[in-house]
Structure 1
């Protein structure tokens, strides 16, 4: 009992020494509410740890030692371990995938490309605390494909995939999955509903797809040569947004802006995102323009510029898929 009392006393003393203004502003900005005083104390300690680590990193950024900045976001009251459990997907091993391998054509590519400027990318969405990034990656790619081929930009339904592209398709709802499995379901099913008819709930429910309200359909699944960034560039430029698997590190979690260059990435992806362009930055060099599903509070308005032509950093080109009409 005495040791527990000492630990609690030290915890309270540590919290009392922390500045309150930033913490209060953080709670107000992100609408944070906690179930108890004890929970808020723990959250505040995690927040202050993140504040210190972000400040130390940004000093290096200002000195030109690193190519990206960090900032507070809606996850800044979590440890990285908790963030990983809540937000990142458990991606299973991939078996045989019935996908055609994209063959680059002999066409000159633009040095810069941002599909947002061409009206084929919907606004950044928010997956919430459900590990459904795979559905967002699949939808963002299919939204772009549909808009490019039909001239109609529609917000397709991630919830439709969470509910219907289930375990029999290699996905696990809010516990993770693969974008290519979701696209395969859409192809086999003959279509997908839109977000208006089938809104996002952030929990897995029974499948309620309605063919009468089909918003889009796909005809074939495609991939690229694994790990080949030039093939990925060809696919993005010629076919549109491409879903990719990446490894999210603690630095990725706190990303604020610039070109994300981080060699702490692991050897297996834990998140699905969508490449919607590419370019070059004077400070950070070549980059991929990547759409995430963590709302606009995160990163550069919900986007991240990830290093390009740096030996397939964070596995950006290892698990790339798109569907064609």
Structure 2
């Protein structure tokens, strides 16, 4: 990390400027001996992402700025993950159930099959990246189910640093869907261009367990992989370079052809093709016939009722291609994960083989039924192992309880069901170990990592994630990259048995009863110390009722109130509010009598924490300790800190430095104090014959440590004298 030293000036002059001098230091640690396990190498960052960040003066970090690249809003932005090694490899994908290439019809249109949802309108917001994945997801569920999923919820609760209208990419969409953050119904969170906050606690309508990545096209004729996906699944999300200038877009024919080299900027949906679509229909004539049929997200008044044709010879169409699929939200009851932001980078050992693992702690008596991970090559082979009772830091210790292997044709995000469900008990450590063998790509290990200005919400703890070159010697990921985890999830459901519902159904027991449950003798299958909550599903005397026993648990709900902002962290470190969805209140369920210590962290430089409201009450501004012996509700209140104060006038707040100066009047020797800021405080004219001190860089508490900087506009000294500390004159 760069170490930045800013040198202020304490001399007044008119007009005045300060200089900011940056010093970059590097610390090199030389180990006494090489470790037994070599450290993996991080794959190079996508050069398009690097270029985009470099060219974007203000990347709308946590902001609301819309980004446009044409006359209408677009929003497709590069991912830091580089998939350029896949380009042109779509024809090499081997499927056990495929339509033979070369026999596709001349024309194909999913609209005629009822496999396309209605055209939507992203409006004046860079949210195409949210609309195009939802178009694919809605299509793959048709015709059996008809859905209108909320793009608003995706753009507002992605968990990434870019603003809600500042654009995004498929890795962000996959992360949101893969962690079960959505999809939610449009009716639950209707689309709004101006909205950057979505309600919390909405129902996730489907579980997205599989997203297929179709490699970028290698040429104008390299279309079979996309055609195959259209015929097998439904709408394919893709991206293109969009510019409505008349040299590219024919309004008369609703057709588009771009032959340049600019990066992609717009996410759209492929709904079909026409091999004979005439080249004469385009504003500039391409080398040959043929076009994809595209569904846009600019409403039905644009194009041909919201659709248009893009030439096969367009140099950017067919980039970033994905198929989004979903399953019933009831299929799995719990998700174990450390990577809510999904894949940010890839690691490897200069080999096509890599091992990676997560160690989880079971939250209840349940069955682990499936695991998920990413692959980054076509036809990648995998091996999955589940170990029970593992020792901390040793993924392959304990007892091997399940293993499965296979080959995954498509790159992307995949869920692999275990060949047999594995029962785990509350508090038991279990590990998911994955080995991936790529045909060609040397960075087979997917990881969530911290990327400044993109994924700053990524967090990790030692003992969670591990990487290995051979599956024997392991490196904790936090020793490789701070705040890094591998992308492995586990999915579980309550452990149930067949039997007859008894009178103990719904009861709470500290000692496991051996009668009146689902059937006599069930208690012998229960482990742990309880208390348990018994549930029976079925008729009162049905012989095939289902019964389960779960450790009794209660919800902890935390709400954030007040004019300020901040975050609530916890010990154990498994609760944060606002969570990645940005919502409040936040809720998590804990086993009975769990002790949770909550810490309020006001946003640095902008807010102060004023206190707790809880049942039972927590007092003051210190930590709040909650014992989960019942459902608990806690409210943390943050106040917006003053921008400017005068040391000699406590309790009075000012919005500008000029207002504070005016309030001083003729009181010589006063000290004006300004908070750390990102936008200048405005201009200041000193026109009274008094001496004052202007100090900047204070935190929200206005403590004596003003180690930051404050910026202001023009400073004019017409009378009096001024001493400056930690002030930058713009």
TM bucket (normalised to shorter chain) is 0.5 to 0.7
Gaps of 5+ in 1: 1-80
Deviation at 1:167, TM superposition (A): 1.2
Q: 8 Å contact 2:160–2:172 — kept in the other structure?
A: no
Aligned residue runs from structure 1 range 74-93, under 5 A = 84=70, 87-89=73-75, 91-93=77-79
- Give a deviation string over 1:7-38, Cα, whole Å, max 9, x none: xxxxxxxxxxxxxxxxxxxxxxxxxxxxxxxx
* Alignment correspondent of 1:237: 231
Higher RCO (CA-CA < 8 Å; seq separation 6+): 1
CA change 1:103–1:142 in 2 (3 A) is: farther
* Alignment correspondent of 2:266: 271
Q: Of residues 277, 289, 296 in structure 1, which corresponds to 2:293? A: 289
- Give a deviation string over 1:84-113, Cα, whole Å, max 9, x none: 38612261343167x9x8646343433321
- Give a deviation string over 1:135-162, Cα, whole Å, max 9, x none: 11111011111225xx012111110101
Once structures 1 and 2 are overlaid, which stretch shifts more, 103-112 or 267-276? Answer: 103-112
Three-state SS of the structure 2 residue aligned to 1:142 is: helix
Three-state SS of the structure 2 residue aligned to 1:88 is: coil
Aligned residue runs from structure 1 range 285-324, under 5 A = 285-308=289-312, 310=313, 313-324=314-325
Aligned residue runs from structure 1 range 132-171, under 5 A = 132-148=127-143, 151-167=144-160
Q: 8 Å contact 1:133–1:272 — kept in the other structure?
A: yes
With structure 1 as the length reference, what TM-score do the two structures score?
A: 0.64
Q: Of residues 119, 123, 126 in structure 1, which corresponds to 2:118? A: 123
Question: How many aligned positions are there?
Answer: 234
| Structure with greater strand share of residues | 2
Q: 8 Å contact 1:86–1:131 — kept in the other structure?
A: no
Q: Of residues 98, 102, 105 in structure 2, which corresponds to 1:110? A: 105
Rounded Cα–Cα distance in structure 2 between residues aligned with 1:139 and 1:167: 18
Aligned residue runs from structure 1 range 37-56, under 5 A = none
Gaps of 5+ in 2: 1-66, 280-288, 327-730
Rounded Cα–Cα distance in structure 1 between residues aligned with 2:68 and 2:277: 35
Aligned residue runs from structure 1 range 200-211, under 5 A = 200-208=191-199, 210-211=201-202
Three-state SS of the structure 1 residue aligned to 2:309 is: strand
Q: 8 Å contact 2:251–2:303 — kept in the other structure?
A: yes
* Alignment correspondent of 2:205: 215
Q: 8 Å contact 1:256–1:300 — kept in the other structure?
A: no
- Give a deviation string over 1:170-205, Cα, whole Å, max 9, x none: x54201111342133112126311111210001342
Three-state SS of the structure 2 residue aligned to 1:322 is: strand
Deviation at 1:299, TM superposition (A): 1.0
CA change 1:262–1:191 in 2 (3 A) is: closer
4+ residue runs over 6 A deviation: none
* Alignment correspondent of 1:69: none
With structure 2 as the length reference, what TM-score do the two structures score?
A: 0.30
| Structure with greater helix share of residues | 1
